[in-house]
Structure 1
Amino acid sequence: MIIEKIFNSNAIVARDSDDRELVVMGRGIGFKKSAGEMIDETLIEKTFILKQNDASEKFKLLLEDIPTEYVSICYDIIEYAKNMLNTKLNDYIYVTLTDHIYNAIKMFDEGLENPNPLIWEIKKFYPKEFQIGLKALEFIEDELNKKLPDDEAGNIALHLINAQINSSFNKVENVAEQTKKIHDILNIVMYTYGITLDEKSISYERFITHLRFFFQRLNKKEQLKEVDDYLFKKVKTKYKKAYDCMLKIEKYLETELSNEEKLYLTLHIQRVTQT
């Protein structure tokens, strides 16, 4: 493995025998070294292989400004998240989360608060990601001796959610907006029916999952597979209250939904209100 660039004593860019570019970290790995020299591979502690070129370039820029201990902590958080969620995360998470945590700690050191107005919704709709966020706060406290507030667990969770469903850079604000809309849609359903939804029911869980993917489709302008027109008319007539509720949601979203989206939203509303 050959050194291409040295950021500091603990972080370098290298190229391996397969001609892949890697960011490599380890205590003293770049100390008294120069580009073109071989790496002492026994010093390697963490290796970043970012397949997206744009993410790789931004990550390298980040390393020039952010202390390596922050990068190392975020690496551990991301690896932990991958294992717990059992899913792939977009490469940009290494950029966005590292940058976020670095700035969050700077604000913490300056005595500034960064409250998360969606903390309740995140706990409710994304419990796995929020628990990982809480674990991340433990990592930070163990390594840096800084106890960040639980609101930061919510912010970290948003980055993890974003890394699962978005392929573009810096879209955490979209996830926050979607989370608020899900909350508002649930309120529309409860207000229409005058009920409290059973958050432990399978129907509720399926409805939340449907809404999460529903917003992804809207953002990507994707369409569900076309449904039989007869089925749509039958559901519209049979579940009139659920259909009327769906129309309120369509009005709230200020967008014209396809018959397919209308059908599935109506069916989910019907199920979640009958459990």
Structure 2
Amino acid sequence: MNTLNRNYKVKRILNNSSLIASDLFFEVVIMGKGIAFGLKPNDTLKRGVEYDKMYKLLTQTNEFNRIINGFDDHIVDMVMDTVAAIGSHGYRELQTQHFITLSDHLAAAYTRILRGEPIVSFFSLEIKALYPQSYDRAVELAKTIESKHDLKIPEAELTYIALHIENLTSKHASTQLDALNVLIGDINELLDLTYHVKFDRNTVHYSRFLTHIRFIIEGALANKRTLSSGVNEALISAYPTHVEIAGKIIEMINKEMNIQLDNNELSYLVIHLVNILGDPIEYDENPSQ
């Protein structure tokens, strides 16, 4: 809990737990349980008041005002409650630009949900597999929003929220998360267009494969046990097509992620591919054109 070190003039009430205020120099968003209750524009939020989070808008003032002025009060209320819930779980501190980006996304998403418009996430299963803890946290957050605002958040939107949470909890930059998701899409496209096979995305084997790819990229497999040369040779001999696919995946990872993988990694990928695609490989009868 923090304490205000100066007086602020209230500019706008967002909900009972958040408001926009200003001093002589800049506007801020101040968040804290019940901090805005009973206040109105032009009131003074006095020095010494306790709060949870503060975001200095500075050059982003117009951007944030565009967001809150473009949506009705109910949407703004839900957005601020969601941001507060994310911030209360001890994640890495939201920077102002992240706060604005998240608010903008949530406002648009909640508007679509209330209108009954579909929300599409092309990587819902992948995100659930790659970031299970962040997804579970998104589910818990959604339960809170549903209970308070009677809004059912669809699974597609949960995965987007999970990505935002992952970006706060992970040491990896958002660009690396984007690159990882692009890589998974490229692998699926390679299998579909070149080999006319599709992953069964609903299996535990697929989830394990995705987790393995994630760990490769994060360098978490650097100290794993090396397979014996005999096992490597047996795998390469027994599964030539799987080896070819695994080799192309490694080339893709090396090129897109600037990571150099050795032959030992090839064998581990072959094992995953055998589990996912079967042996012999089950080819798609209606490949994409």
Q: TM-score range by the shorter chain?
A: 0.5 to 0.7
In structure 2, how many angstroms separate the alpha carbons of the residues matched to 1:156 and 1:180?
20
Partner SS, residue 263 of structure 1? coil
Structure 1 match to 2:248: 248
Alignment-derived partner of residue 129 in structure 1: 134
Distance change (3 Å), C-alpha of 1:39 and 1:29: farther
The residue number in structure 2 matching 1:23 is 29
Alignment of structure 1 residues 1-275 onto 2, 5 Å: 1-3=6-8, 6-8=11-13, 11-14=19-22, 22-25=28-31, 26-28=35-37, 30-33=39-42, 37=44, 39=46, 42=49, 46-49=52-55, 58-59=63-64, 61-66=66-71, 67=73, 68-80=76-88, 82-83=89-90, 87=92, 91-163=96-168, 164=170, 165-166=172-173, 176-181=181-186, 205-211=211-217, 213=218, 245=245, 247-249=247-249, 255=255, 261-264=259-262, 266-273=263-270
Q: Distance in 1 between matches of 2:97 and 2:164?
A: 10
Q: Is the 8 A contact 1:182 1:208 kept in 2?
A: no
SS at match of 1:262: coil
In structure 2, C-alpha distance between the alignment counterparts of 1:176 and 1:56, rounded to whole Å: 32
- Structure 1 gaps of 5+ residues are 215-233
* 3-state SS of 1:49 partner: strand
Distance (Å, rounded) in 1 between the aligned partners of 2:216 and 2:148: 38
Query: RMSD over aligned Cα, in angstroms?
Result: 4.6
**Contact 2:8-2:46 within 8 A present in 1 as well:** yes
Distance change in 2, residues 1:55/1:139 (3 Å): farther
Structure 2's unaligned 5+ residue stretches are 1-5, 198-202, 220-228, 273-289
Cα distance, 1:138–1:4 mapped onto 2, change above 3 Å: same
> Which residue identity lines up with residue 156 of structure 2 in the other structure?
D
Measured in 2, the distance between the counterparts of 1:122 and 1:204 equals: 9
1:41-78 CA distance string (max 9 Å, x none): 54x5542235x966676445534445441342122332
Cα separation, partners in 2 of 1:60 and 1:109, compared to 1, 3 Å: closer
SS of alignment partner, residue 7 of structure 1: strand
Separation (CA, whole Å) in 1 of partners of 2:167 and 2:109 = 18
Q: 1: distance between equivalents of 2:59 and 2:20?
A: 18
Instruction: Tell me the TM-score normalised to structure 2 length.
Output: 0.58
Alignment CA distance shift 1:137-1:245 (3 Å): same
1:39 deviates by 2.5
Q: Would the alpha carbon gap of residues 140 and 179 (structure 1) be closer, same or farther in structure 2, given more than 3 Å must change?
A: farther
TM-score w.r.t. the length of structure 1 is 0.61
Structure 1: how far apart are the matches of 2:150 and 2:69? Answer: 24
Structure 1 position 151, deviation (Å) = 1.8
Q: Alpha-carbon deviations, 1:174-197, whole Å to 9, x = none?
A: 664344346568999xx8xxxx98
Identity in percent: 16
* Structure 1 pair 71–95 and aligned structure 2 pair: CA distance change class (3 A): same
Residue 102 of structure 1 aligns to a residue whose secondary structure is helix
Cα distance change of structure 1 residues 27 and 135 upon mapping to structure 2, 3 Å threshold = same
Figure out how many residues of one structure are paired with residues of the other and give that number. 233
Structure-2 separation of matches of 1:200 and 1:176: 14
Which structure has more helix as a fraction of its residues?
A: 1
Contact 1:133–1:153 (Cα < 8 Å) also in 2: yes
